[in-house]
Amino acid sequence: MKRLALLVLLVLPLSAWTGEKTRPMKVDDLFRFKRVADPQISPDGKWVVYVQGKVNLEANKTVASLWLASTDKGGAVKQLTNNSKSDRHPRWSPDGKSVLFESSRDGSSQLWIIDINGGEARQLTHISSEASLGT
């Protein structure tokens, strides 16, 4: 009897409990998803930096920013960069105090660095043919 009750709970849609009506997924729903990519664990294993992309339908583009999450259960999550251009390919410094990343915030793809405790990102490269961390 307990197994049957558990099976019913697993099979019943969540909407049966909340009273919400379900509807088929639409294409516009896909654009509301936030895309998470390129997770990188800090050298001490206490943090993960990752890219979160959000679709901007009006501008017809996806803007990516860097986020930092604690590996502790229920730990902090905070946005590390917030820019109208995309920040990509985060990589930890050996001491785990800063993150190197690729960005086109000055018009061309260059390498930038930001302290994980906050502050403004600093541009490291000024290469005319652009710079990349590679993928």
In this structure, what is the dihedral angle of CA atoms 101, 104, 105, 107, given to the nearest 10 degrees?
Answer: 150
SS3 assignment, position 46: coil
Helices and strands in the chain: count of H runs, count of E runs: 3, 8
pLDDT of the residue at 13: 53
Q: What is the pLDDT along the chain (135 residues), one digit of tens a residue?
A: 555 454 444 545 555 556 667 888 887 777 777 888 999 999 999 999 999 998 887 878 888 999 999 999 888 999 999 878 889 999 999 999 999 999 988 888 999 999 999 889 999 998 888 788 765
Q: Name the DSSP letter for residue 29.
A: H
Give the C-alpha distances (Å, rounded to integers) separating 23 from 12, 20, 32, 57: 16, 10, 16, 22
